[in-house]
Structure 1
Amino acid sequence: MPFTHGQGETEYLGNIVVSGSADDKKWGSFPIGFDFDFFGVTHNVFWVSSNGLVMFGSGSNAFSNVSIPNTSRPDNYIAPFWDDLIIHSSGDIMYQTIGAAPNRKLVIQFSNMSFWTTTVLLGTIQVILYEGSNNIQMQYNSIIDLSSDRASGAEATVGLEDSDGTGGVLCSYNSAGYIYSGRAILFTPGGGTYTFDDNALFENILLVDVIPRAGFPNQVSPFHNSIVGEAVTFLWEAASHASSYFVLISQNADLSSPLHTSADLTTLSYEYIFLPDQSYYWSVIAKNSTGDESSSEIWSFQTSSSPPFLAVPQSIQLEQGALQILALKYTGGDAGSKTATVSSLPAEGVLYQNAGGIPGAQIATVPTDVTDASFNVIYSATGTTGNGVGSFDFHFSDGTGTSTNETYTINVSAPGVPKFLSASKELDRVEIIFDKDMTDPTGFHLEFAVEDNGVGLTSTSCTLKAGDP
């Protein structure tokens, strides 16, 4: 299912390992920032390669992936996506250690990766190492080509291997369909090996440069695998740090030999007329002020003189506490008015009618018709975390009838580490302002360090300042 990026990604300034085109290269060593145990051996530095490996002990530029375990070199690695990759001219590898002892995280990010012998982007991938627990998480921020078996893992190794290649944990080996945008795989050590959960909660973390590249643009319409009329209006949401956009349209799944490339746009829509009964692919690319680009997924659609009436399933990742406007979508139907109806409620969190961009009446019973003319509702992630905890069903109706129910899947993860904004010193305390609201900051003093003129201080608690909301 196509993946929608929420508005709650926490950005951190990354340390750049390499920027721009690179093939079959390795780099290291770089500091982890804390002691990390991998298959019983403690490490404090790591290496990376352009072929999608994070390594300990030494580096390797091996491009031919093998299954796990395998005693041939390389060994001692984390493989979020080991394939014959290249860094695209618009891509980079960066890392950053965030948080404070004893709960730090090392984030390693492969941005705008591509494949040897093809021009289409693979996307952006992260590896996160956790201090103390020695957990490892692989997560896939953006996998661009939804029609490519290779981009979904058909020629890739995903897993962990120990220092001599006699042991390891294999998630996937040359298996199409295993990798997709929004997937997170959490490895937990125990008994000399690891167990893994490949339905783990995605962490909304993104590493950026001093001038951040544009965020991933979320497409709106025409939806992936939809059937639409010949006159198509392409719609997308604003991306962070974007100053302009352009639309690529092709009849090839990898967008090669484009049928049409729009001029640079400052709007969030674009119109084009197509022939009927044809298949097409499209993507929108966001540019920042310096021209650095980020691509949306590649979506397919077919044209028809009489497209069917369907509600469109969607998926989004949010942080706990987020308030998010959700656009319910449909394809086809007649030219008359449409009605969107919420037919089931989320298990966690609260769903509201949209009242001009703020929560209106709560949707507390079903079925309930959506009152917003653009079929927007608002979800508040006030409940517990988990994949699918905020999901709800909906359908559309018009003069031709009622569509089948579809699901808006909402995955809710724990809030990211708050970013420091400013501080002021008092006699026995420090007032700190962060970029995130905290209704209950209990225990958050473990997530940051406090120094007074370079001397470390021991913080014992964290509370809201009296009078704060």
Structure 2
Amino acid sequence: MRNLLIAGLLMVLTTFSVHAQTLTDYSIAYSTGSFTATVGGTTVTSGVGTLNDGYVNGIPIGFDFFYMGQRYTTVSVSTNGWLSLGSNISSAAPLNNLSTGGTRPVIAPLWDDLAVINFADASYLVSGSGANRVFTLQVLNNRWNATAAGPTISYQVKLYEASGKIEFIYRQDANVVSNGSASVGITASGTGSGNFISLFYNGGAPTASATTENTTNAVKPPTGFTYTFTPPVPAAPSSLTFTSIGTTGYTLNWIDNSTIETGYAIYRSTDGSNFTFVNKTAANATSSAQTGLTPGTLYYWRVFAVSEGALSSALQSSAGTVP
């Protein structure tokens, strides 16, 4: 009966909000479900450094992922339970420090002095299609900490394309935690209070802080335990028009309907199906001049409002240049 009761509670998603100076509007949720190991992903065959303090740079996300208003296409991963968006890392940084440490911004499912059994226990996979793709980084059989007798915990980090959502999912492995003192959370590029969200789990309901980092996580979450970070969805722009049309460029114009956007992401295509990122405007923009186009060519455009991490629905239209 106890297992059935817990299974029933697994369907309830408990949410709490954190209002920080630079991570404002990300909501944080926790739930418990299942851990499903990925199949068919790309295995990390080697890394820089050791299994205790190593890292792998430049893993492709497979799509444009927006985080804190910035666009990222790669992640770099430390064997010590943290990721960096965009930048290569040069140190595995075993000393957890969400406030000021790491190659920022940091995504930290379990930042501590960990060790992997093999680099090949790490893999990544892009699933889904269209604008609904999901990047999953999976690291199995971590020793927590590096002196543990054997595999202690496994985790996945999921990045969602359109929603900008981030998930941490955990699996308990056979061995016990040895002197655990982990930080769990996310950071902005800046440092100090308001530039991180720190989570603490001790067997009950987690707590969160954007001002005080908790570096004492030492309890394995149950298998399937999930943290979810979700940015708000901005209102979509409307009424895409084109002015100053010439042979090699013109101006895109739209109505700004959002009050929370960090800017507008603009994508371009010549076939209406395969779109390439062109630029991101500042917040409150209502136009963008496009240059370097080919004379006599029809271009398709998509304009998205971008919050901290979520994209609005696309505003789409097309216009040709003068021959």
TM-score of the superposition, structure 1-length normalised?
A: 0.36
Question: Following superposition of structure 1 onto structure 2, how do residues 155-234 of structure 1 map, counting pairs within 5 Å?
Answer: 155-166=181-192, 167-172=195-200, 173-177=215-219, 179-190=221-232
Kindly provide the amino acid, as one letter, of the partner of residue 170 in structure 2: Y
Check conservation: 1:77, 1:162, Cα contact below 8 A: yes
Paired residues in the alignment total: 186
Aligned to 2:26: none
Check conservation: 1:28, 1:48, Cα contact below 8 A: yes
**CA pair 178-69 structure 1, distance change in 2 beyond 3 A:** farther
Deviation at residue 96 of structure 1 after TM alignment? 0.7
**Aligned partner of 1:63 among 86, 94, 100:** 94
Kindly provide the amino acid, as one letter, of the partner of residue 123 in structure 2: M
Larger relative contact order, structure 1 or 2 (CA cutoff 8 Å, min sep 6)? 2
Deviation at residue 9 of structure 1 after TM alignment? 4.4
Provide the C-alpha distance between the structure 1 equivalents of 2:33 and 2:232, rounded to a whole number of angstroms: 33
User: Unaligned regions of 5+ residues in structure 2, if any?
Assistant: 8-31, 201-214, 235-323
Provide the C-alpha distance between the structure 2 equivalents of 1:164 and 1:90, rounded to a whole number of angstroms: 30
Deviation at residue 77 of structure 1 after TM alignment? 1.1
Kindly provide the amino acid, as one letter, of the partner of residue 189 in structure 1: P
Kindly provide the amino acid, as one letter, of the partner of residue 168 in structure 1: F
**CA pair 184-17 structure 1, distance change in 2 beyond 3 A:** same
Aligned to 1:116: 146
Aligned to 1:38: 67
Provide the C-alpha distance between the structure 2 equivalents of 1:7 and 1:84, rounded to a whole number of angstroms: 26
Show CA shifts across 1:148-182 (max 9, x none).
Answer: 475xxx41110001113240211123133363322
- Answer with 1 or 2: which has the greater Rg: 1
CA RMSD of aligned residues (A): 3.3
**Aligned partner of 1:129 among 148, 152, 159:** 159
Check conservation: 2:34, 2:224, Cα contact below 8 A: no
Provide the C-alpha distance between the structure 1 equivalents of 2:102 and 2:228, rounded to a whole number of angstroms: 25
Aligned to 1:102: 131
Provide the C-alpha distance between the structure 1 equivalents of 2:169 and 2:33, rounded to a whole number of angstroms: 15
Provide the C-alpha distance between the structure 2 equivalents of 1:76 and 1:90, rounded to a whole number of angstroms: 23
Provide the C-alpha distance between the structure 2 equivalents of 1:16 and 1:107, rounded to a whole number of angstroms: 12
Kindly provide the amino acid, as one letter, of the partner of residue 69 in structure 1: S
Provide the C-alpha distance between the structure 1 equivalents of 2:151 and 2:46, rounded to a whole number of angstroms: 15
Show CA shifts across 1:204-231 (max 9, x none).
Answer: xxxxxxxxxxxxxxxxxxxxxxxxxxxx
Check conservation: 1:108, 1:128, Cα contact below 8 A: yes
Aligned to 2:309: none
**CA pair 7-69 structure 1, distance change in 2 beyond 3 A:** closer
Provide the C-alpha distance between the structure 2 equivalents of 1:104 and 1:97, rounded to a whole number of angstroms: 7
Aligned to 1:444: none
Provide the C-alpha distance between the structure 2 equivalents of 1:53 and 1:90, rounded to a whole number of angstroms: 15
**CA pair 165-99 structure 1, distance change in 2 beyond 3 A:** same
The 3-state SS of whatever aligns with 1:13 is coil
**CA pair 6-170 structure 1, distance change in 2 beyond 3 A:** closer
Provide the C-alpha distance between the structure 1 equivalents of 2:36 and 2:190, rounded to a whole number of angstroms: 37
Deviation at residue 141 of structure 1 after TM alignment? 2.4
Provide the C-alpha distance between the structure 2 equivalents of 1:9 and 1:48, rounded to a whole number of angstroms: 21
Aligned to 1:14: 41
Deviation at residue 119 of structure 1 after TM alignment? 2.1
**CA pair 164-118 structure 1, distance change in 2 beyond 3 A:** same
Provide the C-alpha distance between the structure 2 equivalents of 1:191 and 1:103, rounded to a whole number of angstroms: 15
Provide the C-alpha distance between the structure 2 equivalents of 1:28 and 1:158, rounded to a whole number of angstroms: 21
Taking every aligned residue pair, what percent have the same amino acid on both sides? 28
Deviation at residue 83 of structure 1 after TM alignment? 0.8
User: Unaligned regions of 5+ residues in structure 1, if any?
Assistant: 193-469
Check conservation: 2:148, 2:177, Cα contact below 8 A: no
TM-score of the superposition, structure 2-length normalised?
A: 0.51
**CA pair 11-175 structure 1, distance change in 2 beyond 3 A:** closer
Aligned to 1:84: 113
Kindly provide the amino acid, as one letter, of the partner of residue 170 in structure 1: S
**CA pair 49-178 structure 1, distance change in 2 beyond 3 A:** same
Check conservation: 2:55, 2:92, Cα contact below 8 A: yes
Check conservation: 1:91, 1:112, Cα contact below 8 A: no
Show CA shifts across 1:56-101 (max 9, x none).
Answer: 12224100112x322x443211100111111114961110101102
Aligned to 1:196: none
Kindly provide the amino acid, as one letter, of the partner of residue 219 in structure 2: G
Check conservation: 1:140, 1:181, Cα contact below 8 A: yes
